[in-house]
Amino acid sequence: IWNRRKNGDIYVEWLSVVAIRNAAGTVSHYAGLFSDITTQEHVRDRLHNLAYYDALTDLPNRELFNDRLQNALAQARRERRLVAVMFLDLDRFKQINDSLGHAVGDELLKAVAAILRRCVRESDTVARLGGDEFTILMAGIARPDDVTLVAYDIVEALSAPLIAECHSLRVTVSVW
């Protein structure tokens, strides 16, 4: 149940109520035992995020991407619609990461993730498979040319310099 603390905060509580019977077998009292399970809810949410989302970019990870891909393919077969998958790889990322450090590389990956999200529809899935590899799942597209337009938008958006840890960086991306 949801309960409220004396200070007004709402929290999740596990409540177990048992009937206490007298010698005749009739209920004379009820006893309740409760425990605050708010931290358990947070742990469950955290475990879910760790299992299905990339910790750095907060994008879906490979596991969630594969699940969404299977669902999109099944739906596309039923509805006879198109599905597209784009694979993206940042060019020269290893060189940037090695020469400027992992903190710069991490900030660059976050910036790229944000740009990719802006370039696709809300219903599309942008995922980080690992390292500098991203995928985009576009379900229910009207025509193949739509994918090409999105790819051009991504290349164009990434052509502007990105700021990572006070470094102005230009990245290019390979899309296939």
Which residues are identified as catalytic?
Answer: 132
- Of the candidates 148, 145, 106, 142, which has an alpha carbon nearest to the alpha carbon of residue 123? 142
CA 114 – CA 163 distance, rounded (Å) = 13
Q: At 11, list the tokens.
A: 């929290």
Q: Report whether 172 contacts 106 (CB < 8 A).
A: no
Residues paired with residue 14 on neighbouring β-strands, in sequence order = 35
DSSP string, 34-54: EEE-HHHHHHHHHHHHHHHB-
- Of the candidates 158, 152, 105, which has an alpha carbon nearest to the alpha carbon of residue 132? 105
- The SS3 assignment for 63 reads helix
Alpha helices for the chain (secondary structure H) = 38-52, 62-79, 93-100, 102-119, 144-157
CA 87 – CA 84 distance, rounded (Å) = 10
